[in-house]
Amino acid sequence: MSKLVKNIMERMVEDKLDQMLPSLGCCTCDVCRTDILCYALNRLKPKYVSSEQGELLSRVDSISITYEAAIMTEIASAVEIVKKNPHHRNK
């Protein structure tokens, strides 16, 4: 029997990053974007679900101001770190 185990925080952070990235003044290449996502996700509490229904209910629950503020704060911190230490190659 296969089970769906999913950290919905990944999608929430990715969606918020997509909204914020144009105004953050940082590199938007895939390497920097992935580094920002990883940094933020490593500092946020994961939210695991095991069904599509659980994902929907958890997303509704997670759209609180507290979660949004925490996600935005970690993204902003990640951007500053990645700007100072980019891993992409200079062209």
- Helical packing angle, 52-62 and 8-20, nearest 10°: 50
* Number of compact structural domains in the chain: 1
pLDDT of residue 17: 96
Q: Is residue 12 part of a domain?
A: yes
pLDDT of residue 51: 72
Instruction: Domain of residue 48: give its range.
Output: 6-84
Q: What are the average pLDDT values for consecutive 10-residue runs of the chain, which has 91 residues?
A: 76 93 92 96 89 62 75 96 84 49
pLDDT of residue 42: 97
Task: Kindly report the pTM of this predicted structure.
Answer: 0.80
Q: Is residue 60 part of a domain?
A: yes
pLDDT of residue 3: 67
Q: Is residue 42 part of a domain?
A: yes
Q: Is residue 37 part of a domain?
A: yes
Q: Is residue 89 part of a domain?
A: no
HEC secondary structure over the chain:
CCCCCEEHHHHHHHHHHHHHHHHCCCCCCHHHHHHHHHHHHHHCCCCEECCHHHHHHHHHHHCCHHHHHHHHHHHHHHHHHHHHCCCCCCC
